[in-house]
Amino acid sequence: MSQAGEELVRGLEALVPAMRGELASCAAQDLEDLRVKYLGRKGLLAGLLAGLGSLAPEDRPLAGKAANAAKQALTDLFAAREAELAAETARGALSRFDPTLPGRTPEAGSLHPVTLVMEEICTVFTGLGFEVVSGPEVESDWYNFEALNLPPEHPARDMQDTLYVADNVVLRTHTSPLQVRTMLARKPPVAVIAPGKVYRRDSDLTHTPMFHQIEGLLVDREVSMADLRGTLTSFLRQIFGVDTRVRFRPSFFPFTEPSAEVDISCRMCGGAGTLHGEPCRVCKQTGWVEILGCGMVDPEVFKAVGYDPEVYTGFAFGLGVERVTMLKYGIGDLRMFFENDTRFLGQFA
Ligand code: PHE
């Protein structure tokens, strides 16, 4: 064999112990680099093989044989070391596994405070014999306004900044369309409450474009303002505590007559208007906070749904759930309800 042939064969044979040595001290994460170094397309083996072509023809069979042997040996060495390292890694993971450590408890979710209060209010009213109903959030102008004695161009429509989906189709601005839907679907007597989302074009520190209301409606023969007062007073004391004082102030809604707004004594300052000598911020020193709107169903609404106003009377009310929740739990910032901070939400678990 020529000298060049012998050199090439020696070079090939030397690769095997060299790789074996490097493999022995190689960590798992460096294994791939080592494979590229020896077996890669531009690796040491490939470099030597490139010299095969320039050998004298009679040297080629022997040198070729040596090349194949070297390639096989390198590949086997590599595979063996790879398997060894994989086994080591697996053993290491096992030895780090400590079965005496306490398990990781999955975090449990909790109901949103607005949901909790909504359910609590519904429970109070179902206890009084009311039935829970619901209806669409996308509502026609007729249900949201017109049947509630708010004809087109009525100035009272300005009370609520309406979000329109299309001509005569709105996102309901209150749950009062459920009064209309209920009366159209049933004959009196009816006693229902309707919890749900409502929408207004309004967004600042104390208003969000979506919030929750609960509507109440009771219609029968001889329902009076006294029934309204008694029902709402009982309800508010169940939610806010037996000591809560309740007052009715005359107000206006197109769909009730007479209408009232209801205040409860301020829970923050106990109705005093001051707290530790400072003006109470929750009730702005008045000792009262507004909690809901209500009134006796207007005869015009009865006419729109086909109830005889000479025979039937009824009362209706609507309240904002976020507002009740803030007062009940002393939450100062409306944004808390929408930020989904689990440190806040988890307190209601
Ligand atoms: N719908 C009124 C509002 O959103 C509240 C209300 C309901 C008032 C029922 C009277 C009767 O402000």
Among 101, 227, 281, residue whose Cα is nearest residue 235: 227
Q: Which of 145, 149, 174 to mutate to test the pocket of ligand 1 (most atoms within 8 A of CB)?
A: 174
Based on its alpha-carbon atoms, the radius of gyration of the chain, rounded to whole angstroms, reads 40
The residue nearest atom 4 of ligand 1, judged by CA position, is: 174
Residues 31 and 139 in one domain: no
Residues 18 and 146 in one domain: no
Residue 107 lies in a domain: no
The residue nearest atom 6 of ligand 1, judged by CA position, is: 318
**How would you write the pLDDT of the chain (349 residues) with one tens digit per residue?**
888 888 888 988 898 998 899 988 888 888 899 899 999 999 898 888 888 888 888 888 888 898 899 899 889 988 989 998 888 888 888 788 888 888 888 888 899 999 999 999 999 999 999 999 999 999 999 999 999 999 888 876 765 689 999 988 999 999 999 999 999 999 999 999 999 999 999 888 888 999 999 999 999 999 999 999 999 999 999 999 999 999 999 999 999 999 999 999 998 888 899 989 999 888 889 999 999 999 999 999 999 999 999 999 999 999 999 999 999 998 988 999 999 999 999 999 8
Residues 205 and 338 in one domain: yes
Q: What is the dihedral of CA 62, 68, 74, 78, to 10 degrees?
A: -170
Q: Which of 161, 170, 235, 253 to mutate to test the pocket of ligand 1 (most atoms within 8 A of CB)?
A: 253
Our count of domains for the chain comes to: 2
Residue 35 lies in a domain: yes
Does residue 318's CB lie within 6 angstroms of at least one atom of ligand 1?
Answer: yes
User: In degrees rounded to 5, what are phi and psi of residue 204?
Assistant: -155, -165
Residues 137 and 281 in one domain: yes
Edge-to-edge strand ranges of the sheet holding 138-140 = 138-140, 169-171, 164-166
Residues 216 and 119 in one domain: yes
Residues 90 and 229 in one domain: no
Burial of 342 (0-12, 13-18, 19+ CB in 10 A): exposed
* Index of the ligand 1 atom closest to the CA of residue 259: 10
Question: CA 275 → CA 154, 207, 285, 287, 332, distances in Å?
Answer: 43, 26, 9, 10, 15
The residue nearest atom 2 of ligand 1, judged by CA position, is: 318
How many CB atoms are located within 10 Å of the residue 97 CB?
8
Q: By residue range, what is the domain housing residue 36?
A: 3-95
* Index of the ligand 1 atom closest to the CA of residue 217: 9
pTM over 0.85: no
CATH classification at residue 289: 3.30.930.10
Residues 71 and 122 in one domain: no
